Each structure stands twice: as C-alpha cells, then as structure tokens.
Amino acid sequence: MNMRWKIALVALAPLAGVLLAELAVRAFHVGPIPSPGGEGDIARATGDPALRVENIPGGWMRTIYFDRARNVVKTVEAHVNAQGFRGPEVALEKPPGTFRIACLGDSQTFGHGVGDDESWPANLAACLHERLPGRSLEVLNCGVGGFETEEELALYEKRVRAFHPDLVLLGFFLNDTAVPGATIESLDSTQSKWVRVLAPGQHSGFLPWLRAHLRIVNLACDWEFRRLTLSRWVEQRAALFAPDFQGWIRVQTAMKRFRDLQQQDGGRFGVVLVPLLMRQGSALLSSEPYATVARFLAAESIPCFDPEPEFAGVEDVDALRVHERDLHNNPEAQRRIGRGTGRWLLEQHLLP
C-alpha cells in the first residue's frame, strides 16, 4: 500500500467512525430526549417594568412530554383563574373568620409540569383542611413563571395585598438572586457561551445543521449541554449568595419589605426554601446556599421552612423531577413540600 492510500485511510477513518456511530444510534433508536412541546399559553408580557410578565386571566396551557422515540409519555394541563392565580377563585373581600394564605414564587410555586391540584400550595391547602376540619382556610397560588423575589414583591404590593392575606409564604428558589442588572463577572464567559451555543432550539449556523442531520452529533451536543448546565449550577451557587453580590443584597431588602408590609397589615410573612432536586455527593445542590438564606432570615426574625429533610432517604432524587428535560419538581416532590409546609405551620403556631 503506497503512502497516498495510507494518508487517505487515516483521513477517512474518523469519518467512517462517525458514520458507523450514526448507523448504530439510528438502529437502536438512541438519541436525546426531545424538549417538551405545548399548546396554549398562561403568561404574557406586561407594560409594567416591575412585573415584566404576568399570568393571563383565564389562561390555559397543555405541556406534552416525550421519550427518546418521541412517544408521548404524559400531558399536563395548567389553568389560570380570572384573578390571575392558579386554583379556585376567592372573594376579594375576605369572608369573616377565614384565614387566608397567599403563596408567591416562580414556576416551582406555580407548579410547572404538574396539575392544578398538585402544586405545593395546593398540597398545603389539602394538608391544612385535613388537619383542621371545619376551619375556614384559603390558600392562593400566586406563582408566576420566571419571577424572582423583587418581582414577587411587586406582585404582592400591586395585586395580592388587596386580598388581605393573613399569612404570606414566599417560595424561594435557588436562582432568585439572579435579578435583572445583577451580573456575576467571575463566571467563565467561555463556558456560558458554549451553554448558549449548545442549547436546544438553535436554528442558524453549521452546528444546528449538523444536529438536524446527524443523530450522533445531536446526542453528543445534548450530553455536553447538560454537563455544562450542571457545572454552571454548581459554580453559581457561591457567587449568587456572596455577601457583596447585588442580587443577594436586593433579595434581602425585598424579603424585609415583605415582612414589614405584612406586619403593618397585622399579618405574618414566612419563606419556603424550594429545593433543587439534584445531588452533589450526599447533599442537594441547594443545601449550602439555603443555609446562607436561613441564617439571614433567622437574624431578621422571619420564619423559614427548609423542606430538604422531607427528601431524606430518597436515593434517586432525579426521579422526583417532572421529566429528564424539565428540572421542576414532580407531583410527589410537590406533595412532600406542600404537606411538610403544612406541618411546619402548625408546629410553629403560625396559624392562630
């Protein structure tokens, strides 16, 4: 074999390997799990810069989840009532003798990926009605997807406060300190760039073309995107809660404002630390940051519930997320958080 043939074989070997891998993944139907699809809508942009988005009164959305073969594995419907909240409508004027709880938060509180009666506020209501039969109780789910703490405070001041809640519970999630305008300069910009490049749904450029035509390339890009995303979650934890990070400082100010307004109205304010169900070692990724939040809340005399002990003994916390393509908490995780919150409220005597 002459030198030219040897060079040609060496040059073509990687291509042959890719083609063989492509044939294998096609033969065995291996590939990345498709992103969820959907119908309808529950949120829209608003002209109010303090809110940015809002739930659509009367809105409806169906989310469709697939397996690797693109078979539908489940569908979930979400409804927004005429008042812009999830769940049954309540009278603006609180009935005499009724204890009203308003739950604010982001999509983890709204319950993205779970049914209307499966969010943690819905489970909280069910728990309290079981333990306090005959007591007049109302729980409002005021969660809005994509919100952070300042927006939740704005929603409370502009709309929820008018319902005169006796208790406000803020569902705090790990990324809530990433408020608009607060950037983390220390994070690797190269890594962030690759996360954006590899994110599903990109349509222009050579790489999206390759992903559309070669399953092995799409599978490799999907694996690397998920690895980088997890890595960024790990890196961001400390930075998002650093003492001098403006996002965390602004969140602390918003939480104190929540407390002060509720005290003015004769009510109470508490925080529920909604866990991120991903492990690093034996602890959840949210454990260390939430310890920082809990210390601040204790210093400010703000009641705080950390549901992480509700997941003690669960070996596979990944199974408690909605879907491999959806990091939101599934119905069982929502049940543990909501019912744990109900027990905590009773133990702490936050319900008169």
Does some domain include residue 228?
A: yes
**More confident position, 120 or 9:** 120
Q: Which residues contact 343 (CB under 8 A, 6 or more apart)?
A: 127
For position 226, what pLDDT does the model report? Answer: 61
Question: Based on the domain organization, do 257 and 303 belong to the same domain?
Answer: yes
Structure tokens at 294: 């809990």
d(CA 248, CA 314): 30
Instruction: Give kind and range of the element (H or E) at residue 237.
Output: helix 215-240
pLDDT in tens, 39-93: 999 999 998 999 999 999 999 999 999 988 889 999 999 999 999 999 999 999 9
- Tell me the residue range of the domain where 196 lies: 189-237
pLDDT in tens, 229-261: 666 666 777 888 999 999 999 999 999 999 999
Question: Based on the domain organization, do 285 and 270 belong to the same domain?
Answer: yes
Q: Are 264 and 157 in contact (CB under 8 A)?
A: no
For position 238, what pLDDT does the model report? Answer: 81
Question: Based on the domain organization, do 176 and 256 belong to the same domain?
Answer: yes
Does some domain include residue 352?
A: no
Does some domain include residue 163?
A: yes
Question: Based on the domain organization, do 104 and 81 belong to the same domain?
Answer: yes
Question: Based on the domain organization, do 93 and 226 belong to the same domain?
Answer: no
The band of 227, judged by pLDDT with boundaries at 50, 70 and 90, is low
pLDDT in tens, 105-131: 999 999 999 999 999 999 999 999 999
Question: Based on the domain organization, do 200 and 116 belong to the same domain?
Answer: no
d(CA 51, CA 302): 24
Structure tokens at 86: 């999830």
Question: Based on the domain organization, do 17 and 120 belong to the same domain?
Answer: no
Domain boundary among 204, 221, 237: 237
Q: Which residues contact 133 (CB under 8 A, 6 or more apart)?
A: none
For position 16, what pLDDT does the model report? Answer: 59
Rounded to two decimals, the pTM is 0.85
Q: Classify strands 279-280 and 268-273 as parallel, antiparallel or unpaired.
A: unpaired
Torsion of CA 205, 208, 210, 211, to 10 degrees: 170
pLDDT in tens, 190-211: 556 655 655 666 666 766 766 6
Question: Based on the domain organization, do 210 and 110 belong to the same domain?
Answer: no
pLDDT in tens, 139-166: 999 999 999 999 999 999 999 999 999 9
d(CA 90, CA 300): 31
CA distances from 81 to 4, 12, 86, 141, 280 (A): 72, 61, 6, 10, 38
Once rounded to an integer, what is the mean pLDDT over residues 317-342?
A: 94
Does some domain include residue 334?
A: yes
Task: Say which DSSP state 104 is in.
Answer: E
SS3 74: strand
Q: Are 112 and 328 in contact (CB under 8 A)?
A: yes
| Residue 135: how many other CB atoms lie within 10 Å | 12
Structure tokens at 222: 């999907």
Q: Is residue 304's pLDDT more than 70?
A: yes
Question: Based on the domain organization, do 160 and 283 belong to the same domain?
Answer: yes
Q: Are 258 and 168 in contact (CB under 8 A)?
A: yes
For position 348, what pLDDT does the model report? Answer: 96
Number of domains in the chain: 3
pLDDT in tens, 13-40: 565 555 665 566 566 555 677 889 999 9
CA distances from 12 to 2, 3, 8, 15, 169 (A): 16, 14, 6, 5, 62
Q: Is residue 220's pLDDT more than 90?
A: no
Tell me the residue type at 345: L
Question: Based on the domain organization, do 166 and 62 belong to the same domain?
Answer: yes
- Residues paired with residue 187 on neighbouring β-strands, in sequence order: none
Question: Based on the domain organization, do 7 and 149 belong to the same domain?
Answer: no
For position 223, what pLDDT does the model report? Answer: 54
SS3 306: coil
Does some domain include residue 43?
A: yes
Question: Based on the domain organization, do 155 and 249 belong to the same domain?
Answer: yes
Q: Could you tell me the CATH number of the domain that includes residue 260? A: 3.40.50.1110
Does some domain include residue 145?
A: yes
Residue 335 dihedral angles phi and psi, to the nearest 5°: -65, -45
Name which of 285, 290, 293, 281 is nearest 321 in CA terms. 285
